[in-house]
Structure 1
Amino acid sequence: MPTPTTPLVDHIVILIPYSFLSAPPSWFADLFHFYPGGRHSDGLTENTLVLLADGSYLEFIAFVPGADPAKRAAHQWGGKKEGTVVDWAVTLRCPSTPPSVKEEAKFLEQEKHFHEIQEKVRDAKAGIVYGDLRRGGRTRPDGKVLKWAVAFPKHDDGSPVEPGTVPFWCLDVTARNLRVPYTTPRATKHPIGAVGVAKIEILPENRKTVESAGVVYDTILDTKETAETGESWKIRNLFGESVHSGGIVHLDTSNKPARVNISFFTNDLRLVGKSVGGKVDEDHILMFHLVAAFDDKV
């Protein structure tokens, strides 16, 4: 059972061209059931969501047309290639409290647990630490205002960590079901049968980064898995136990530029072992591997 300080997969961030939001190619539209997202409060990015049955989700994010080039360059994902997994986030379980407890009070309880984790990572002396939580939000198309707080990793000297090397944190200030409305009828039913994230494969460019990231994972994730190459850890989800056998984080050195690969659990046995996706541009293809929801081999 997850404790109040157990990291849970919150979401995977995938950068796409804006045209994939306004006029998606058929191969992309046929992968998932998309849930409306919205424009972020900074005005630079817009998203659409894919809600998964284990309580996590995919955020397909795009920079809006006409975005200020300088502001885009300063954005943590501004230099990333469209059609790639650019980052991922973990969260904490919302405290079980009476309905009378205000949302802000629930968030402050989560914030306290985050500070415990933040201190634990700092004490591990990995060369990577987590910054403090900062508030953010966006407005849904229906006018609902969503609020959350995020904390990003950084090196000891304050320089940024390559996005996706270790997760950032995303904690809800308003009710989670406003940001992740996974209880909406059929919202988690997808053409490829995806029910959750099976594997997050992180492949930094250099060995030193792998070593630092490994210390962070040893600190925040409580179960290490045997791996033929690299290192692996189990990762929990909000409702994963009821829909799949549990995901893993795998860390290894890349023989190419740093990247993050994602595999999904599927409940469609016809698609087990297959990869799905399509062309993003002339030079890049976005692909996802599918594994059985209750198969240990991910």
Structure 2
Amino acid sequence: MSNADVNTRTLDHIVHLSPAGKLEETAQLFRGFGFTVLKGGVHIDGLTENNLVTFQDGTYVELIAFTHPVSYYPPGSPERLARESHPWASKHPGWIDYAFLGNGLLSPPSSRISTIINGRGESEGSGAHYTDEEPGGRTRPDGVALKWLITAPDIKKHPRRGVLPFFAEIKLNEASFLRKVSEDPEAIKHANGALGVSYLSVLVHESSRKLQEGYITSVSGSKAVDSTEYETTWALDTPKKDPGAAEPKYHVAVPSRPGDDDHLERFGEGILVVGFKQIGKADPDLKEVTTPYARIAWTSG
């Protein structure tokens, strides 16, 4: 398999940020929407903690929050500096980031995600550029440590996190907690009938649209499957294939409905709404709900 053929368009998870120390409140909101929410754990740096909403296609939503506000840490302390420099430190609560599945199986430097995408960005002239892989991890409630590799957009060229995906790959020598969870019928069973992610829509300024389209073409290694006046669409894969299910879609969108311009002004470019595939709706009239910070939409699965 050549680097050009490596799959870099598999959706792994989407990140929802809560205010510091308010993770459980958001978990209760998602439970109220009919999702099954699992306990996650504290990340290895101690700055953030998470809960999880997992789906049968292997994708998941990560509900995350900083464990403490910035003021908790003494001024000038290493912990304070780490908290202030965290990639999500300046993010408003809501949908803040999303990850595609990395390629931890491909260990040679020439086959790493960063090398592959940077090569595409150069040859295609899009300018897409990612930094070298870095380790990350967290400790589960049962004390087991999970470790992974993260490949992120280069902040020198793409300064705003959450507009382009980062890549995540659990290391092979660690138990794959999330993949095991996706086989647990109770963990992936949701009262609202959710099967997985139907789409995610990234809102950008009209002036940024062509640039973002070029970026995501290089990042995903695929061409758009549709384009309209207000959005361009790519097809994504999922970690676990379901021949009977529609593939999730990725939209690069520009303002088209009331409130979109205000959203851009307040939050900047990034995820506007996440749609979920749903069957057996308890409320057939349910089309969209919101947390205090983010939009959730429903489509027929």
Q: 1:287 corresponds to which residue?
A: 295
How many Å separate the matches in 1 of 2:137 and 2:245?
Answer: 30
1:168-179 matches, within 5 Å, as 168-174=166-172, 175=174, 177-179=176-178
Q: 1:263 corresponds to which residue?
A: 275
Q: Measured at CA, do residues 242 and 163 of structure 1 come closer, stay the same or move farther in structure 2, by a change above 3 Å?
A: same
Residue deviations 1:179-225 (CA, integer Å, cap 9, x gap)? 442112311111221111111100124523x3222112222242422
DSSP 3-state at the match of 1:217? helix
Q: 2:198 corresponds to which residue?
A: 198
Q: Measured at CA, do residues 248 and 271 of structure 1 come closer, stay the same or move farther in structure 2, by a change above 3 Å?
A: farther
Q: 2:142 corresponds to which residue?
A: 142
Larger strand proportion of the pair: 1
Q: 1:231 corresponds to which residue?
A: 232
Deviation (angstroms), 1:74: 1.4
Deviation (angstroms), 1:76: 1.1
How many Å separate the matches in 1 of 2:47 and 2:117?
Answer: 30
How many Å separate the matches in 2 of 1:34 and 1:26?
Answer: 8
User: Is residue 251 from structure 1 mapped to residue 252 from structure 2 by the alignment?
Assistant: yes
**Alpha-carbon contact 1:278-1:287 (below 8 Å) kept:** yes
Structure-2-length-normalised TM-score: 0.80
Residue deviations 1:249-278 (CA, integer Å, cap 9, x gap)? 110234331241111111224556734545
How many Å separate the matches in 2 of 1:176 and 1:207?
Answer: 44
Q: 2:11 aligns with which of 9, 12, 15?
A: 9
**Alpha-carbon contact 1:121-1:216 (below 8 Å) kept:** yes
Q: Measured at CA, do residues 161 and 74 of structure 1 come closer, stay the same or move farther in structure 2, by a change above 3 Å?
A: same
1:1-298 matches, within 5 Å, as 4-18=6-20, 20-23=22-25, 26-31=28-33, 32-67=35-70, 68=73, 70-82=81-93, 84-92=94-102, 106=105, 108=107, 112-114=111-113, 115-154=115-154, 158-174=156-172, 175=174, 177-180=176-179, 181-205=181-205, 207-208=207-208, 210-219=209-218, 220-228=220-228, 229-242=230-243, 244-254=245-255, 255-256=261-262, 257=264, 258-260=269-271, 261-271=273-283, 274-280=286-292, 285-293=293-301
Q: Measured at CA, do residues 60 and 279 of structure 1 come closer, stay the same or move farther in structure 2, by a change above 3 Å?
A: closer
- Amino acid in structure 2 at the alignment position of 1:263: G
DSSP 3-state at the match of 2:107? helix
Where structure 2 has 5 or more consecutive residues not aligned to the other structure, the ranges are 74-79, 256-260
How many Å separate the matches in 2 of 1:49 and 1:171?
Answer: 16
The percentage of aligned residue pairs carrying the same residue is 24
Deviation (angstroms), 1:19: 5.1
Residue deviations 1:155-196 (CA, integer Å, cap 9, x gap)? 6xx254322211111112144732442112311111221111
**Alpha-carbon contact 2:136-2:147 (below 8 Å) kept:** yes
Structure-1-length-normalised TM-score: 0.81
Residue deviations 1:109-143 (CA, integer Å, cap 9, x gap)? 69825232332234333233111110111111111
**Alpha-carbon contact 1:234-1:247 (below 8 Å) kept:** yes
- Amino acid in structure 2 at the alignment position of 1:286: A
**Alpha-carbon contact 1:262-1:288 (below 8 Å) kept:** yes
- Amino acid in structure 1 at the alignment position of 2:201: E
How many Å separate the matches in 2 of 1:124 and 1:24?
Answer: 41
How many Å separate the matches in 2 of 1:128 and 1:18?
Answer: 32
Indicate the RMSD between aligned Cα atoms, in angstroms.
2.6
Higher mean alpha-carbon deviation, 165-174 vs 239-248, is at 239-248
Deviation (angstroms), 1:26: 4.8
DSSP 3-state at the match of 1:120? helix
How many Å separate the matches in 2 of 1:111 and 1:196?
Answer: 33
How many Å separate the matches in 1 of 2:175 and 2:203?
Answer: 30
Q: Measured at CA, do residues 240 and 270 of structure 1 come closer, stay the same or move farther in structure 2, by a change above 3 Å?
A: farther
DSSP 3-state at the match of 1:121? helix
**Alpha-carbon contact 2:42-2:50 (below 8 Å) kept:** yes
